[in-house]
Structure 1
Amino acid sequence: MPWHPRQLTTEQLEERRLAAAKLLEKGYSQVDVARKIGVSPASVCYWAKALKLRGRAGLRQRVRTGRPPQLTQAAWGEIAQLLSRGAREFGFETERWTLKRIAQLISRRFGVHYHPNYLAVPLHRMGFSPQRPLLQARERDEELIKAWLKRDWPRIKRGLDVEGQPSFSWTRQDTRFKGPQPPHGLPSAMRLF
């Protein structure tokens, strides 16, 4: 069964390379190994070269280098709890969390500076996703809308049920209340039924 690269951890990737090594050592061709494992022949070619030069150790996962994380997993957990308390509690004007505000919170609380654009990835890993507030007119009056729906809408809807009432659309004729219409192109005098 082929592996699917976007779903694999680093340990699973190493396991896939080692499985390819076993097949190569058994005498399978690189193309056959690529087909069996579900990778490109170029990948198997690269792995075969590493196997020949460094043995199985050349296919094992390497220690990842790079800058160590500035915040621990516990600190990220604390950030999640802080975010759930709301933005107003930390001195912001609205409850809306933006990446810039989260970066400011982390800087104040932990003394660590993160660029706002970087924060999207770790926040997504913690289960947060971008939320956009619904746009509503400032003049919107919910009580007035409820009253309109209760008082005026039934009268308007009843008016639509009357046959021959013109459509509210000026772009097309409303044919809902006029009975069956002839097929397109036939004059109304040539009704099929």
Structure 2
Amino acid sequence: MLAAALFEAGQHSQAEVARMLGVSRQAVHQWHQAWSKGGTNALHPGQQGADTLLAPEQERELISLILQGPGTHGWDDQQWTLARINRLIKERFGRCYADPSGVWRMMDRLGLSWQVPAVRAGERDEEDIAAWRTQVWPRVKRGSAPVRGVDRFR
């Protein structure tokens, strides 16, 4: 591990090691304490964090169940919530999270977004929006003079 080599060299502070490795100073402090007590072997990755609620094959199955949509599982409003996903986990796998934040963390770890897509107005005109963004907004943003050739008071 690079952190151990840097600690052994003794040429860098913990803050410098954190910047070099792109991690927090707190993480480097914990690594340094472990390294001081057990050497380089104490820094080898082991079991980190709590055990996951579901086995990897169950997580893959859960992803496919979620992708089927909430309507398939009895929720006709077509929206997943953390509570609904937790209920699906309980019904399908016999386990559940005690707190909705556990469902959120699992969803994040599995690469699933909990966000509801934005609803777009039916009247939305993408061409007009693109023209406004490229032609009008740059002038407004710069604070330039009003558009030439347009007389609003005629």
Unpaired stretches in structure 1, ≥5 consecutive residues: 1-14, 137-141, 150-173, 180-193
Q: Deviations over 1:23-44 (max 9, x none)?
A: 23xxxx444994697276xx57
Distance 1:101 1:51, change over 3 A: closer
Q: Distance in 1 between matches of 2:81 and 2:15?
A: 48
Where do 1:149-188 residues align within 5 Å?
177-178=150-151
Give the match for residue 101 of structure 2: 117
Give the match for residue 38 of structure 1: 20
Once the two structures are TM-superposed, the CA of residue 62 in structure 1 deviates from its matched residue by: 6.1
Once the two structures are TM-superposed, the CA of residue 66 in structure 1 deviates from its matched residue by: 6.1
Give the match for residue 88 of structure 2: 105
- Aligned sequence identity (%): 20
Once the two structures are TM-superposed, the CA of residue 65 in structure 1 deviates from its matched residue by: 6.5
Q: Distance in 2 between matches of 1:117 and 1:86?
A: 21
RMSD: 4.0
Conserved? CA contact 1:20–1:33, under 8 Å: no
What is the aligned length?
Answer: 124
Matched, 1:20 2:27: no
Q: Distance in 1 between matches of 2:82 and 2:58?
A: 17
Give the match for residue 69 of structure 2: 86
Task: Give 1 or 2 for the bigger CA radius of gyration.
Answer: 1
Q: Distance in 2 between matches of 1:55 and 1:20?
A: 12
Distance 1:177 1:95, change over 3 A: same
Runs of 4+, deviation exceeding 6 Å:
none
* Partner amino acid, structure 2, of 1:128: L
Q: Secondary structure at the match of 1:20?
A: helix
